[in-house]
Chain A
């Protein structure tokens, strides 16, 4: 059974564990409530006495932390009534925060104050109501069960009846016992269920707190994408300032050597070395383009896509209707999708034409790459695109491939183009 409300509607309610769970929940709220209110009253008392000193003020500001503790205990106890448990409303804190920062963060959370309020309610009203109802029914039930034993020795007055023999006691247990159990079980089940709902409402996460966690997750994924972007830029810079410059220096030296050497085997070898150094430079340029394309950084998506299109062995029509610049991670994602797609078209599609369209639809960037090739492209086969899907996912974007056998193949990328909300 998922909750007491479902159980109450069931015909098997009285023989299930739910009446006993309700008893346990209500009765356990009495000591827990009492301890809670005692601690709170003591804490208020101490901080009032100490309030002329700075420590008293500090204690008052730390009260929400008591709420955090109450929340932990009560979310654990409420599992008696709500076996699924209640999720914590507290935000997940970044791992790098110090203990002091963590306490400060928790102290300022609305959820902590709410839990403190719940603690006051628990220690006064909830514990009292629970004590009266559950205590009374438990006592009456206990006395009823013990009625034959008591009645044997003494006359026992139960409401309008007076029992003065063990026979009458047994008769009373058999007739009144089940009736009392049935009636109180339903009443206590309703009461315990209501209290559990109250705990859930005050100790569980609210809509905006769930939203906030989603937003925090999204931010951390964006941070990750940003970190990759920064790292790529760093690698590119490193290659540019280091290896590439050295290779350029090498080609210059070889070029000068060629001028001085007489025709012959030595010169032939130097010319060969020069050609090889240039090939290495060209390879390195190609690699750098795959890591962090310069045109994209300097001039934006359209210029960079035109450049990739020019490099493609088949004619590519590029039609882009975009504002000057988009956020960097989005430009980069779109660029690599287009670059990968054009590479795939050239390799697999047997196409004679390809079109790249880009436009803004509302607040989304849409890019479509269409070819007139043979179709039948398998999205799982292109490992290059799989990585790009992950990257797009972090930006909240999607990638759809439609490639019926016989073509045409159409790859469509959509991505929100504002990152700040």
Chain B
């Protein structure tokens, strides 16, 4: 309704084609199967149950179309929901607060990342994950600057975007990222670094 129209007009403006716009999970599955898009944007809560239909629909779509990007929007985000979203890491996945749609440029960038098979997680969720790990393990070894970089990495940002956000050079960001991977003993890989970070944080 209100939200779908707003979202459609934002996507239109950015030159994306809106294939279908539907109001409940069953219809969503039906139209996706009939006419597969590049990316599915879905709310977590949908009629008829108003609980977590969107998450279940995302899992069903993932099973049918492993490579399709799925962006899940929610009124409310919690890291506890991440596990069901990140179960399979083949296609792009995004999990964002609805508020983020209002920041049109960032939102469209997130959407592109999801379409390209990347992972985007809401800063609020990343904050929750970092809060949980704050006092033990290798995370304690990170400097405050490195934690900032880690949080931005977990949001799915690339080095240039992180550099812009923190107002430092891209070389400095690369150095931080290298240190983080070393301290957390993570395998470096450009595509999967968000998942790697999240997997570490959720452990």
1/0 contact string of A302-324 vs chain B (CB within 8 Å): 01101101110001000000000
- Within 8 Å of chain A (Cβ to Cβ): is B190? no
Query: What is the distance, in angstroms, from B49's C-beta to the closest C-beta of chain A?
Result: 11
A-chain residues with CB within 8 Å of residue B98 when the two chains form the complex? 248
Least CB distance from A236 to B in Å reads 10
CB pair A315 B101 closer than 8 Å? no
0 or 1 for each of B76-106: is its CB under 8 Å from A? (1 = yes): 1011110000000000000000110111110
Q: Which of B3, B76, B99 has the most CB of A within 10 A?
A: B99
CB distance from B84 to the nearest CB of A (A): 9
In the bound assembly, the distance between CA atoms of A256 and B105 in angstroms comes to 10
Question: Is A253 located at the chain interface by the 8 A CB criterion?
Answer: yes
B13 interface contact, C-beta 8 A: yes
Distance of B75 from chain A, by nearest CB (Å):
5
**A249 proximity list for chain B (CB < 8 A):** 2-3, 6
Docked complex: A274-327 residues within 8 A CB-CB of B? 274, 277-278, 281-282, 285, 288-289, 294-295, 297-299, 303-304, 306-307, 309-311, 315
Contacts of B19 in A (CB 8 A): none
Check B104–A256 contact: CB distance below 8 A. Answer: yes
Residues 245-258 of A, flagged 1 when their CB comes within 8 A of B and 0 if not, give 11011011111101
- Which residue on B lies nearest to A302, using beta carbons? B80
Closest chain B residue to A244, Cβ basis: B75
On chain B, the residues within 8 Å of A256 by CB distance are: 9-10, 13, 104
Whether A237 sits at the interface, judged by CB under 8 Å, is yes
A239 closest partner in B (C-beta): B75
Interface residues on B, range: 20 to 34
Provide the residues of chain B in CB contact with A282, threshold 8 Å: 99
Q: Are B99 and A298 in contact (CB under 8 A)?
A: no
Contact of B132 among A254, A277, A299, A306 (CB under 8 A): A306
Contacts of B135 in A (CB 8 A): 315
Contact (Cβ within 8 A) B51 A307: no
A:11-46 near B, CB below 8 Å: none
Is A348 part of the binding interface, using a Cβ–Cβ cutoff of 8 Å? no
Q: Kindly list chain A residues whose C-beta atoms are within 8 Å of the C-beta of B116.
A: none
- Asked if B3 contacts A248 (CB within 8 A), the reply is yes
Q: Is A248 a contact of B80 with CB atoms below 8 Å?
A: no
Nearest chain A CB to B50 CB, angstrom units: 6
- At the interface, yes or no: A49 with Cβ under 8 Å from chain B? no
**CA gap between A310 and B82 in the complex, in Å:** 15
Taking the closest CB of chain B, its distance from the CB of A109, in whole angstroms, is 42
B128 close to chain A: CB less than 8 A = yes
Please give the number of chain A residues whose Cβ is less than 8 angstroms from any Cβ of chain B in the complex: 36
Instruction: Point out the residue from B1, B2, B51, B102 that lies within 8 Å of A254, measured CB to CB.
Output: B102
Are the C-beta atoms of A251 and B2 separated by less than 8 Å?
Answer: no
**Contact A310–B101 (Cβ < 8 Å):** no
Interface residue from A245, A297, A306 paired with B3 (Cβ < 8 Å): A245
Among A246, A253, A277, A297, contact of B51 (Cβ-Cβ < 8 Å): A297
Cβ–Cβ contact A303 & B80, under 8 A? yes
Among B2, B80, B134, which residue has its beta carbon within 8 angstroms of that of A306? B80
Query: At the interface, yes or no: B174 with Cβ under 8 Å from chain A?
Result: no
A256 vs B101: C-alpha distance when bound (angstroms): 10
Interchain CA distance A298-B134 in the complex, whole Å: 26
Q: Check: A92 CB closer than 8 A to any chain B CB.
A: no
Known A285-B76, A315-B135; judge A253-B104 contact (CB<8 A). no
Considering the chains assembled together, what is the distance between the CA atoms of A251 and B106 in angstroms?
14
A259 within 8 A of B: yes
Check if A268 is an interface residue, CB within 8 A of chain B: no
- Pick the contact of A310 from B1, B10, B105, B131 — CB < 8 Å? B131
A and B contact pairs by CB, cutoff 8 A, 8 listed? A248-B99, A248-B101, A252-B101, A255-B104, A274-B102, A299-B81, A303-B80, A307-B128
Task: Please give the residue numbers on chain B whose beta carbons come within 8 Å of chain A beta carbons, in ascending order.
Answer: 1-3, 6-7, 9-10, 13, 45, 50-52, 75-76, 78-81, 98-99, 101-105, 107, 128, 131-132, 134-135
- Which 4 A-B pairs rank lowest in CB-CB distance, beginning with the nearest? A251-B102, A255-B102, A252-B6, A303-B80
Sample of 18 further A-B pairs with CB below 8 A, known A245-B3, A248-B102? A248-B6, A248-B75, A249-B3, A252-B3, A252-B6, A252-B7, A252-B10, A255-B10, A255-B104, A256-B13, A274-B102, A282-B99, A295-B80, A298-B52, A303-B78, A303-B80, A310-B79, A310-B131
